[in-house]
């Protein structure tokens, strides 16, 4: 790795995290800030573009699938030298839970510099961020140096806040699923499956992750009948997990 001679100090390095999943966003920013970086957040591509019009960020972590404006469209705008952004050459790292073989090509064609597949472990995230910035890799807290899973190194208080956030979101997710089934919105169901797979990986609930992945795949194939059946099962899974975590 080439280290830039004018690389900024970590505390002067600002990273924008664009992700519509508040729990994934919490975990990502926690890892980055534990390493010494400074962060801001955006909940979709549109907010990310607006933030980049106001502030000269050193790097962007961009989720690919987001409402209003996805990461691909946002990156196209960022790379447009005629846009109102302060820095159209800011490094963009794609965060994706998609598994299509051509996903890397799609990200690179959009103008993204690197790709990280979710769930992202702390060590992998910091390694790629440091490479993209041309900085030495910072040392993570000892607990976060375990590279076995996305939830590695989360202290009890922070994990508790994630669980609390998840429990607060469950009723809304159930409503979203029911409304999407009623309106036969298979793309909405796919997006919910995608989002819930990321959350369940962070919480290390493999059964919920598997169900969410099945729903996402049914949405990708636009199989509304199967997606509806899986949505009903996912609602049952969510309610069971909600009861277990609330006990």
Number of independent structural domains in the chain: 2
In a domain, 163, yes or no: yes
Pair of tokens at residue 232: 């009903």
Question: In this structure, what are the phi and psi dihedrals at residue 100, rounded to the nearest 5 degrees?
Answer: -65, 145
Banded pLDDT at 215 (limits 50, 70, 90): very high
The arrangement of strands across the sheet holding 92-96 comes to 38-42, 14-18, 59-63, 92-96, 114-117
Instruction: Give the CA-trace dihedral at 214, 215, 219, 222, to 10 degrees.
Output: 70
Alpha helices in 204-223 (DSSP H): 206-220
Same domain, 114 and 236: no
In a domain, 4, yes or no: no
| pLDDT score for 4 | 44
In a domain, 60, yes or no: yes
| pLDDT score for 157 | 82
Banded pLDDT at 132 (limits 50, 70, 90): very high
| pLDDT score for 198 | 84
Mean pLDDT of 84-92: 93
Same domain, 21 and 136: yes
In a domain, 236, yes or no: yes
Same domain, 33 and 140: yes
| Residues in the chain, overall count | 247
In a domain, 2, yes or no: no
Contact yes or no for 219/193 (Cβ under 8 A)? yes
Mean pLDDT of 72-77: 95
CATH of the domain at 234: 1.20.120.160
| pLDDT score for 3 | 41
SS3 state at 171: helix
d(CA 71, CA 242): 30
| 38-42/59-63 β-pairing | unpaired
Same domain, 132 and 49: yes
d(CA 41, CA 32): 12
Strand partners, 246: none
Mean pLDDT of 53-79: 94
d(CA 154, CA 40): 20
Banded pLDDT at 192 (limits 50, 70, 90): very high
Q: Is the pLDDT of residue 50 over 70?
A: yes
Percent pLDDT > 70 in the chain is: 89
| pLDDT score for 117 | 84
Q: What is the pLDDT of residues 90-116, one digit of tens each?
A: 999 999 876 556 778 889 899 999 999
d(CA 245, CA 224): 31
| pLDDT score for 143 | 55
| pLDDT score for 66 | 87
Q: Is pLDDT larger for residue 91 or for residue 194?
A: 91
Same domain, 55 and 136: yes
Same domain, 25 and 120: yes
Q: Is pLDDT larger for residue 56 or for residue 120?
A: 56
Helix 156-182 and helix 224-246, axial crossing angle in degrees, nearest 10:
150
């Amino acid at each position: 790795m080439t280290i830039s001679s004018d690389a900024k100090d970590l505390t002067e390095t600002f990273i924008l995290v664009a992700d519509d999943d508040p729990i994934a966003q919490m975990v990502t920013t926690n890892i980055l800030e534990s390493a010494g970086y400074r962060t801001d957040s955006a909940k979709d591509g549109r907010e990310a573009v607006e933030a980049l019009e106001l502030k000269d960020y050193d790097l962007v972590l961009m989720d690919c699938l987001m409402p209003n404006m996805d990461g691909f469209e946002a990156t196209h705008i960022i790379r447009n030298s005629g846009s109102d952004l302060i820095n159209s050459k800011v490094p963009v790292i794609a965060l994706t839970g998609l598994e299509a073989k051509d996903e890397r090509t799609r990200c690179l064609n959009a103008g993204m510099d690197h790709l990280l597949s979710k769930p992202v472990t702390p060590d992998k995230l910091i390694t790629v961020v440091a490479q993209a910035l041309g900085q030495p890799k910072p040392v993570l807290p000892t607990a976060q140096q375990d590279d076995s899973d996305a939830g590695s190194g989360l202290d009890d208080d922070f994990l508790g806040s994630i669980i609390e956030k998840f429990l607060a979101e469950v009723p809304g997710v159930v409503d979203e699923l029911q409304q999407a089934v009623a309106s036969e919105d298979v793309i909405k169901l796919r997006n919910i499956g995608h989002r819930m797979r990321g959350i369940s990986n962070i919480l290390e609930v493999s059964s919920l992750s598997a169900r969410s992945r099945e729903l996402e795949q049914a949405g990708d194939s636009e199989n509304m009948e199967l997606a509806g059946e899986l949505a009903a099962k996912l609602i049952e899974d969510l309610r069971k997990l909600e009861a277990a975590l609330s006990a």
